[in-house]
């Protein structure tokens, strides 16, 4: 069996050797799904996609493009049919994005902080370079609970100044200033914002005048007085992105499609040091789709089964939005769509978003699961707009979004690494989805 696996791998990977050579011999010798269980196959793919080679599958260092090329190479190995542009698996599009490709340095009172664990830069921030530390002016915001108070505070901010905004959560709460809106409210200058608890990074299509740094309050000195930053940003007006799409033709009704989707992009890097691997979000969902693509390529169904891996999700569901606006086959031919996002652990079961709207299909899942045959429990929610099922559902496609329950909780941070994805019951989830696919065709 070991010799067979090596030979099988060699036949399947010659076209993608530039990608796979960067990985270990253990990866090379285990890359055939015929040699692996569901869990080992998915584990391997998560390890690969969350590795530093892909730079967080984001918008710097070609990370997102490398991931797209890798997925397309996998589709080719499985033998999926191509429906993309110029006879490929790709669907190209573009969008603006603000990036941080170079130096990201912050020190407070002379102490250098660690990007990622200690601080994050608001993703819409302009770059800023200081030659020496400067004194910060502290602004207390605990009493700012209305727009008048907020406007009075902003009048105190001079262009190019450095400010320490204490209790900034008060105006953000009362004025409903989310992290994106908050950035639009501030003038040119440096704003240090202490934050207690988890630091969550985002992606942003806009470039604002201010440079905003959120710092975990436990790493700040008792009296933060001086700051020095060197933050490099690059705004890309037309970042080139691509979706990756392939399918297995149906044996009886090829014009009817069951579709599995996931987003493969993540946040990438914040400067040279801070890597956001995105193992749970969403190397896990991508890897499960790859497993299903390989399985159904070897087990064709009555209906065609399509596999769509989207980019641009972290920027605002852009890849799936573009696909829905430019479908590769008519949307009305989609019998049912299952979107998989953060499925790296189903220890406590799964949640089916849109399950309330699609009661018959939800009942199928419950019936197939029986007495917790595949996963511990299946919960349902009403529709949401927070993953790639949304644009399909909004345009009349029957669609659900499935995520696992019981994950460690790393999300949009530097700690979302492959070794912390448990894969509890993910093999059961894969089998449940295979049975579900068969049930949908009855």
Within this chain, do residues 202 and 227 fall inside the same structural domain, yes or no?
Answer: yes
Contact 318, 203 (CB under 8 A): no
- Joined tokens for residue 147: 């727009």
What is the C-alpha separation between 87 and 82, in angstroms, rounded?
6
Q: Residue 391 domain-assigned?
A: yes
Listed residues 164, 198, 231: the one ending a domain = 231
Alpha helices in 14-133 (DSSP H): 17-20, 25-28, 38-49, 63-78
Where is pLDDT greater, at 20 or 241? 241
- Joined tokens for residue 69: 């090329």
Listed residues 185, 208, 231: the one ending a domain = 231
Domain with residue 81: its CATH number is 3.40.630.10
pLDDT greater than 90 at residue 139:
yes
Within this chain, do residues 197 and 274 fall inside the same structural domain, yes or no?
Answer: no
Q: Report which DSSP code applies to 347.
A: T
What is the C-alpha separation between 228 and 130, in angstroms, rounded?
6
- The per-residue pLDDT for 406 is 86
- The per-residue pLDDT for 23 is 42
* Strands (DSSP E) found in 39-168: 81-82, 90-99, 104-108, 111-112, 119-121, 128-129, 134-135, 137-140, 161-166
Contact 156, 164 (CB under 8 A): no
Q: Residue 27 domain-assigned?
A: no
Q: What is the pLDDT of residues 398-407, one digit of tens each?
A: 999 999 998 8
Q: Which residue is listed with tokens 């005048």?
A: 209
Within this chain, do residues 171 and 278 fall inside the same structural domain, yes or no?
Answer: no
User: Pick from 277, 288, 292, 418: which is nearest to 343 by CA?
Assistant: 288
pLDDT greater than 80 at residue 6:
no
Within this chain, do residues 58 and 182 fall inside the same structural domain, yes or no?
Answer: no
Within this chain, do residues 328 and 422 fall inside the same structural domain, yes or no?
Answer: yes
pLDDT band at 409 (very low <50, low <70, confident <90, very high): confident
- Terminal-residue alpha carbon distance, the chain: 36
Q: What is the pLDDT of residues 188-224, one digit of tens each?
A: 999 999 999 889 999 999 999 999 999 999 999 999 9
Within this chain, do residues 294 and 206 fall inside the same structural domain, yes or no?
Answer: no
Within this chain, do residues 362 and 288 fall inside the same structural domain, yes or no?
Answer: yes
What is the C-alpha separation between 439 and 442, in angstroms, rounded?
5
Within this chain, do residues 372 and 262 fall inside the same structural domain, yes or no?
Answer: yes
- The per-residue pLDDT for 48 is 98
Ramachandran bin of 418, using left for φ above 0, alpha for ψ from -120 to 50, beta for the remaining angles: alpha
Q: Residue 68 domain-assigned?
A: yes
Q: What is the pLDDT of residues 353-387, one digit of tens each?
A: 999 999 999 999 999 999 889 999 999 999 899 99
Within this chain, do residues 254 and 343 fall inside the same structural domain, yes or no?
Answer: yes
pLDDT band at 158 (very low <50, low <70, confident <90, very high): very high
Q: Residue 312 domain-assigned?
A: yes
pLDDT greater than 80 at residue 36:
no
- The per-residue pLDDT for 34 is 52
- In the predicted model, what is the mean pLDDT of residues 278-291? 98
Q: Residue 419 domain-assigned?
A: yes
> Torsion angle of alpha carbons 195, 317, 440, 305, nearest 10°?
-120
pLDDT greater than 60 at residue 276:
yes
Query: What is the pTM (predicted TM-score) of this model?
Result: 0.91
What is the C-alpha separation between 292 and 420, in angstroms, rounded?
23
Within this chain, do residues 178 and 325 fall inside the same structural domain, yes or no?
Answer: no
pLDDT band at 84 (very low <50, low <70, confident <90, very high): confident
Q: How many domains does the chain have?
A: 2
What is the C-alpha separation between 380 and 354, in angstroms, rounded?
7
Using DSSP, state whether 421 is helix, strand or coil: coil
Within this chain, do residues 363 and 392 fall inside the same structural domain, yes or no?
Answer: yes
What is the C-alpha separation between 40 and 60, in angstroms, rounded?
30
- Joined tokens for residue 21: 């050579």
Listed residues 231, 250, 275: the one ending a domain = 231
Q: Residue 317 domain-assigned?
A: yes
Q: Residue 5 domain-assigned?
A: no
- In the predicted model, what is the mean pLDDT of residues 268-289? 97
Q: In terms of residue numbers, what domain contains 195? A: 103-231
Q: What is the pLDDT of residues 112-133, one digit of tens each?
A: 999 999 999 999 999 999 999 9
- The per-residue pLDDT for 35 is 56
pLDDT band at 18 (very low <50, low <70, confident <90, very high): very low
* Angle of helix 285-298 versus helix 63-78 axis, rounded to 10: 20
- Joined tokens for residue 53: 């080679």
CB-based burial, 75-102: b 16+ in 10 Å, e otherwise: bbbbebebbbeeebbbbebebebbbbbb
Domain with residue 144: its CATH number is 3.50.30.30
Within this chain, do residues 324 and 277 fall inside the same structural domain, yes or no?
Answer: yes
In DSSP terms, which residues pair with 305 in a beta bridge? 248, 258
pLDDT greater than 70 at residue 31:
no
Q: Residue 15 domain-assigned?
A: no
Count of Cβ atoms closer than 10 Å to residue 378 Cβ:
21
- The per-residue pLDDT for 243 is 98
pLDDT greater than 80 at residue 10:
no
User: Pick from 312, 301, 302, 296: which is nearest to 262 by CA?
Assistant: 312
């Amino acid at each position: 069996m070991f010799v067979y696996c090596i030979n099988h791998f060699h036949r399947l990977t010659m076209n993608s050797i530039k990608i796979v050579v960067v990985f270990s011999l253990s990866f090379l010798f285990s890359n055939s799904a015929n040699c692996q269980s569901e869990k080992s196959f998915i584990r391997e793919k998560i390890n690969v996609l969350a590795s530093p080679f892909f730079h967080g599958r984001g918008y710097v260092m070609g990370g997102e493009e490398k991931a797209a090329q890798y997925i397309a190479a996998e589709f080719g190995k499985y033998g999926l049919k191509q429906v993309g542009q110029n006879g490929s698996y790709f669907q190209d599009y573009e969008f603006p994005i603000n990036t941080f490709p170079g130096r990201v340095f912050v020190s407070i009172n002379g102490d250098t902080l660690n990007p990622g664990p200690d601080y994050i830069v608001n993703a819409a921030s302009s770059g800023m370079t200081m030659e020496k530390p400067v004194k910060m002016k502290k602004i207390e915001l605990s009493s700012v609970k209305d727009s008048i108070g907020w406007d009075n505070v902003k009048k105190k901010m001079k262009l190019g100044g450095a400010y320490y905004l204490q209790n900034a959560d008060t105006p953000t709460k009362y004025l409903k200033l989310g992290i994106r809106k908050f950035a639009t409210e501030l003038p040119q200058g440096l704003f240090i914002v202490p934050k207690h608890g988890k630091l969550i990074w985002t992606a942003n299509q806009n470039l604002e005048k201010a440079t905003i740094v959120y710092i975990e309050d436990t790493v700040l000195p008792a009296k933060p007085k001086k700051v020095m930053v060197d933050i490099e940003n690059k705004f890309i007006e037309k970042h080139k992105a691509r979706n990756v799409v392939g399918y297995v033709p149906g044996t009886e009704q090829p014009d009817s499609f069951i579709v599995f989707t996931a987003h493969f992009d993540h946040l990438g890097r914040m400067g040279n040091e801070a890597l956001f691997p995105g193992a749970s979000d969403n190397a896990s969902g991508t890897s499960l789709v790859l497993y299903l693509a390989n399985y159904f390529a070897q087990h064709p169904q009555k209906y065609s089964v399509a596999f769509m891996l989207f980019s641009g999700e972290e920027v605002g569901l852009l890849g799936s939005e573009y696909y829905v606006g430019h479908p590769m086959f008519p949307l009305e031919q989609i019998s049912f769509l299952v979107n998989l996002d953060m499925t790296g652990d189903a220890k406590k079961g799964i949640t089916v978003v849109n399950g309330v709207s699609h009661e018959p299909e939800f009942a199928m899942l419950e019936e197939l699961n029986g007495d917790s045959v595949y996963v511990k429990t299946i919960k349902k929610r009403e529709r949401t707009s927070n993953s790639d099922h949304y644009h399909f559902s909004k345009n009349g496609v029957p669609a659900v979004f499935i995520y696992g329950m019981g994950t460690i909780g790393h999300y949009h941070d530097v700690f979302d690494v492959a070794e912390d994805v448990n894969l509890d019951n993910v093999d059961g989830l894969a089998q449940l989805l295979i049975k579900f696919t068969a049930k949908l065709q009855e």
